[in-house]
Amino acid sequence: MSQQEYEKMIEEFRKMKRLLVNNIYYPKVIHFLRIKKIKRLLVNNAYCSKVIYFLRIKRIKNYFKRWLFPIYLFPVKLVTYSIYYLVKFLIKLFVSFFETIWDFISFSFRSLKNFLLDFYINSVSVFHLWHNL
């Protein structure tokens, strides 16, 4: 490494030390400063939202790399992740279904007005059903 390269690296390191995001040194930001786009974006702590956007994209890329590599485990990962998200969806569906039923039952007992409204709607519906038989 030549002296000029060494001095350039030291100067770049000093610039990185001065960069702050919300007055905190983030190692991820310093790591991604090597990317030229982010280097241009981080000038005097400006455009932090764009840096966060690029960090999210990098995280998504890493997620797909973990999914795909090693390639021989991809079918196993696909099956297990699919089952996991399916089970998670079904649990949330059942919970929301029971919450809806609970709200439906408890609605009439929240106030006298709701109770009378429920009584009126039920009596009209029973009358209508009875009349059509």
pLDDT digits (tens, 9 = 90+) for 9-41: 667 666 665 655 544 555 555 555 555 555 555
Q: Are residues 64 and 78 in the same domain?
A: no
Instruction: Tell me the whole-structure pTM to 2 decimals.
Output: 0.46
Q: Domain end: 14, 49, 69, which one?
A: 69
Q: Tell which wins on pLDDT, 101 or 53.
A: 101
- For residue 62, what pLDDT is reported? 86
Q: Are residues 94 and 109 in the same domain?
A: yes
Q: Are residues 107 and 46 in the same domain?
A: no
- For residue 88, what pLDDT is reported? 96
Q: Are residues 16 and 62 in the same domain?
A: yes
| Domains in the chain, number | 2
Q: Domain end: 48, 69, 90, which one?
A: 69
Give the span between the Cα atoms of 117 and 111, in whole angstroms.
10
- For residue 44, what pLDDT is reported? 52
Q: Are residues 96 and 41 in the same domain?
A: no
**What 3-state DSSP class applies to 47?**
coil
Interval 57-85 mean pLDDT: 89
Q: Are residues 47 and 98 in the same domain?
A: no
Q: Are residues 63 and 74 in the same domain?
A: no
Q: Are residues 30 and 80 in the same domain?
A: no
- For residue 89, what pLDDT is reported? 97
Q: Which domain holds residue 94?
A: 70-133
- For residue 20, what pLDDT is reported? 54
Q: Tell which wins on pLDDT, 6 or 120.
A: 120
Q: Are residues 102 and 118 in the same domain?
A: yes
Q: Domain end: 69, 96, 124, which one?
A: 69
Q: Are residues 83 and 129 in the same domain?
A: yes
Peptide bond into 70 cis (omega under 30): yes
Q: Are residues 10 and 35 in the same domain?
A: yes
Q: CA torsion 55→61→65→68, rounded to 10°? A: 150
Q: Tell which wins on pLDDT, 46 or 69.
A: 69
Q: Are residues 51 and 78 in the same domain?
A: no
pLDDT digits (tens, 9 = 90+) for 98-133: 999 998 888 888 899 999 998 999 899 999 988 887
- For residue 19, what pLDDT is reported? 57
- Which residue do the tokens 């009378």 mark? 116
Interval 80-97 mean pLDDT: 96
- For residue 10, what pLDDT is reported? 64
**What 3-state DSSP class applies to 24?**
strand
